[in-house]
Amino acid sequence: MKLEKELQEYFKEAMTTDSIYSCEMSFYRDITGKELDYMNEKLKEKGVYLICFHCETCIEYSKGKEPYHIDRLTLRGY
């Protein structure tokens, strides 16, 4: 799947950064179900997954330009 440049860069970081470290970013839109499924399928082998949600803090920090928060979480029992 072809991802937008910023999303691809985040995905690369999520894949290569050790899961004990935080890996999050603000984004200008909600990511699609297809994008999320694609990235989570690849990340499953690392024991992590991504979530994306509307975030008041991201809105404040970006002055409304990037209202969504993408975060990498650890799968339970991994």
**Taking the C-alpha atoms of 56, 58, 62 and 64 in order, what is their torsion angle to the nearest 10 degrees?**
-40
pTM (two decimals): 0.89
Whether 20 is covered by a domain: the verdict is: yes
Domain that holds residue 35: 16-74
What does the block give as tokens for 67? 């209202």
Q: Which helix (H) or strand (E) holds 27?
A: strand 24-27
Domain count, the chain: 1
pLDDT in tens, 29-77: 999 999 999 999 999 999 999 999 999 999 999 999 999 999 999 987 5
Q: Compute the residue count for the chain.
A: 78
For residue 56, tell me if it sits in a domain. yes
Q: Is residue 5 part of a domain?
A: no
> Which amino acid is residue 12, in one-letter code?
K
User: Residue 11 falls within a domain, yes or no?
Assistant: no
Residue 55 lies in a domain: yes
Confidence (pLDDT) at 18: 87
- Say if 30 falls within a structural domain: yes
